[in-house]
């Protein structure tokens, strides 16, 4: 258990941030599956990929995922959709 008030507060902050980041990562996975399932229809695939790329950019900007990881995933989606 934490010994100081600031340490206790840091534990609470860490728990909140962990939950928020978990929700963002879960949403990214869901959007990735949406891109994969929409690959049959070009219009749906394009719309799903745009939404996924936007979410990747936001996650990278806030530090939830690494910038290079976002770039790598965006590149793979572009290859997958526009092939």
3-state SS of the chain is CCCCHHHHHHHHHHHHHHHHHHHHHHHHHHHHHHHHHHHHCHHHHHHHHHHHHHHHHHHHHCCCCCHHHHHHHHHHHHHHHCC
Q: 82 falls in which pLDDT band (50, 70, 90)? A: confident
Is the pLDDT reported for residue 80 higher than 90? no
Domain range for 68 is 5-81
Domain with 46 in it: what CATH number?
A: 1.20.58.110
Q: How many domains does the chain have?
A: 1
pLDDT of residue 1: 78
- The pLDDT tens digits of the residues spanning 11-60 come to 999 999 999 999 999 999 999 999 999 878 888 999 999 999 999 999 99
């Amino acid at each position: 258990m934490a010994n100081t008030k600031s340490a206790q507060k840091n534990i609470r902050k860490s728990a909140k941030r962990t939950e928020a980041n978990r929700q963002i990562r879960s949403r990214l996975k869901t959007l990735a599956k949406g891109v994969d399932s929409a690959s049959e229809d070009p219009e749906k695939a394009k719309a799903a990929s745009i939404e996924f790329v936007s979410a990747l950019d936001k996650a990278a900007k806030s530090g939830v995922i690494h910038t290079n990881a976002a770039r790598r995933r965006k590149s793979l989606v572009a290859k997958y959709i526009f092939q």
